[in-house]
Amino acid sequence: MLTLPQVPPEEAAPFYGPFLAACPDGRVGVHLRAQASELEALCAGLSESGAMFQYAEGKWTVKEVIGHLLDTERVYAYRLLRISRGDVRAMPGFDERSYVPAGQFNLRSVHELVSEFALQRASTLALANGVPSAAWLHIGTANGFRTSARALVYIILGHTEHHLRLLRERYRLPSAG
């Protein structure tokens, strides 16, 4: 299973600091796989009406959170692909606030979204497992910040962990258990 050393802060934008710290043991492959299972467990008993829950006015529904995870993972995996292949051309940021409504995730079943996340995560894991050792240190520019290939794996993990925590705490989904 894929392991990567901790990422120094200078290999990612400062606001990613908490995401870089989300996997202190370096066992990124184990954690990537576990997060897909955790999302599935969190949503296993969720009804379609339950998946439309928002914890506050203007916040995303559970379905939209999952859709956001899908969109973000695809963007970060694409950045990982490009940077690990030595592509030094700058990549723009993206606006998740416009992506979520455009994705119309509330029109899809929660179980379809969770299944799609499992597929996307398997694809991310396959990509990461195929990155040559030396390529983990490659640096590119994403959203105006220097970013390493290995930082992107930690960012994917940290971003997903952030939203899994929100699903447990604010959306009150039952912890996997």
**What's the pLDDT score for residue 32?**
97
Q: For the residues 136-164, what does the mean pLDDT come to?
A: 98
Residue 149 belongs to domain spanning: 26-169
**What's the pLDDT score for residue 7?**
96
96-114 confidence digits (pLDDT tens): 999 999 999 999 999 999 9
CATH (domain of 89): 1.20.120.450
32-62 confidence digits (pLDDT tens): 999 999 999 999 999 999 999 999 999 999 9
3-state secondary structure 69-118: HHHHHHHHHHHHHHHHCCCCCCECCCCHHHHHHHHCHHHCCHHHHHHHHH
Inside any domain, residue 121: yes
pTM of the model: 0.96
Inside any domain, residue 50: yes
Inside any domain, residue 13: no
The answer to whether 149 touches 142, Cβ cutoff 8 Å, is no
